[in-house]
Amino acid sequence: MDTFGAIALFGLILLYFVIESSATKTRTDLTRRLNRLEDKVDLLLKHAGVEEPPLPRQDEVVALVRAGKKIEAIKVYREATGVGLAEAKRAVEQLT
């Protein structure tokens, strides 16, 4: 590999890490903002005296957890709510 090729490769690797770092920071910022918005909505609902409606298929999820079928409960929770795996796992673990 000639000098130009080595420099070009190094430049591409450096560019990749710069872009990845920027994307990670953006994801972190968006996650933080989303969490703050969720907290604010929760406070508004509480202040207005409005209870959050039960999750769809909540009884089914609870029954699966009680039967020791945690993985199936996570799958049903994800199908019912559309959340990601990590969030569904946290939610199901809170039921135990």
Read off the pLDDT of residues 43-73 as tens digits, 9 standing for 90 and up.
999 999 998 788 889 999 999 999 999 999 9
Give me the domain span that covers residue 16: 1-52
Structural domains in the chain (count): 2
Same domain, 17 and 42: yes
Same domain, 4 and 39: yes
Q: What angle do CA 4, 23, 90 make, to 5 degrees?
A: 140
Mean pLDDT score of the chain: 90
Tokens of 62: 């609870």
Same domain, 61 and 90: yes
23 vs 87: which has the higher pLDDT: 87
Last residue of a domain, one of 52, 67, 88: 52
Mean pLDDT over 70-81 rounds to 95
Same domain, 23 and 38: yes
Q: What is the pLDDT of residue 1?
A: 60
Q: What is the pLDDT of residue 19?
A: 87
- d(CA 17, CA 81) in angstroms, rounded, equals 34
Cβ-Cβ contacts under 8 Å for 65 (sequence gap 6 or more): 73, 92, 95, 96
Contact 92, 74 (CB under 8 A): yes
Same domain, 57 and 18: no
C-alpha pair distances (Å), 69 with each of 57, 60, 62, 75: 15, 11, 10, 10
Same domain, 86 and 48: no
Same domain, 87 and 65: yes
Mean pLDDT over 32-38 rounds to 91
